[in-house]
């Protein structure tokens, strides 16, 4: 992991070599952060699709040893947008709804263990599992007006997830901390939503 991080930094440094005012670390962090915020707005479809394909091109150009890396990168970029009426950006505290994204190699037993833990957690009011196939069908509908973008993504590129509504938003910080440490969990995103919103705060 350390060697890979050095390689990535070298690529960014070369890319901004002509701009002495650019900080490669800041640019890298900004690119990663923005990658998870791709949203479907018709006036931005062309730009968003081009951005994701550019990310794929960068990853391919790095010649990373693991074939799983491009899929994980796409999965990060393909995270579902916020559900209507929910906070557009993720929050760090007091989230009413939570999306728990799984790693691409999470086994069925690990999924079952996580489902059981969530189902028995008194902090959880509602929990829904979303498979890759369901996520892909939603993705296809959301990006129906950008067929080239859809063709560049397959079901395996989209993460499976658990969508959760908490009993008490004040419990989010402890909830997030506990489940982030569980095997198979890639990322946890919290949003603030009204009662009638989609469970998990995402589309």
CB 186 within 8 A of CB 103: yes
Domains defined for the chain, CATH in brackets: 2-77 (no CATH), 97-191 (3.30.70.3040)
Question: Residue 149: which pLDDT band, with cuts at 50, 70 and 90?
Answer: confident
CB 162 within 8 A of CB 134: no
Q: Which residues contact 20 (CB under 8 A, 6 or more apart)?
A: none
Give SS3 for 97: strand
- Count of alpha carbons within 13 Å of 65, Cβ hemisphere only? 5
Record the pTM: 0.64
- The mean pLDDT of 144-162, rounded to a whole number, is 91
CA atoms 108, 127, 130, 187: torsion sign: negative
Count of beta carbons in the 10 Å neighbourhood of residue 198: 18
Q: Return the minimum-mean-pLDDT range out of 18-27, 70-79, 189-198.
A: 18-27
CB 133 within 8 A of CB 155: yes
CB 20 within 8 A of CB 13: no
Q: Which residues contact 81 (CB under 8 A, 6 or more apart)?
A: 38, 39, 40, 142, 202, 203
Average pLDDT, the chain: 75
Is the confidence at residue 50, as pLDDT, over 50? no
> What is the 8-class DSSP label of residue 66?
-
- The mean pLDDT of 68-77, rounded to a whole number, is 46
């Amino acid at each position: 992991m350390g060697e890979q991080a050095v390689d990535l930094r070298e690529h960014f440094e070369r890319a901004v070599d002509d701009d002495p005012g650019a900080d490669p670390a800041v640019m890298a962090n900004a690119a990663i952060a923005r990658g998870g915020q791709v949203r479907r707005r018709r006036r931005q479809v062309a730009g968003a699709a081009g951005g994701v394909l550019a990310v794929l091109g960068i990853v391919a150009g790095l010649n990373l040893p693991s074939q799983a890396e491009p899929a994980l990168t796409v999965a990060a970029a393909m995270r579902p947008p916020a559900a209507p009426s929910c906070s557009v950006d993720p929050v760090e505290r007091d989230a009413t709804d939570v999306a728990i994204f799984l790693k691409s190699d999470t086994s069925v037993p690990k999924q079952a263990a996580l489902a059981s833990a969530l189902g028995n957690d008194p902090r959880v009011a509602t929990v829904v599992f979303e498979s890759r196939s369901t996520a892909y069908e939603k993705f296809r509908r959301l990006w129906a007006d950008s067929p080239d973008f859809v063709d560049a993504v397959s079901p395996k590129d989209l993460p499976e997830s658990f969508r959760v509504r908490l009993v008490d938003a004040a419990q989010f910080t402890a909830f997030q901390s506990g489940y982030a440490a569980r095997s198979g969990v890639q990322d946890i995103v919290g949003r603030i939503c009204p009662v009638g919103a989609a469970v998990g705060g995402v589309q």
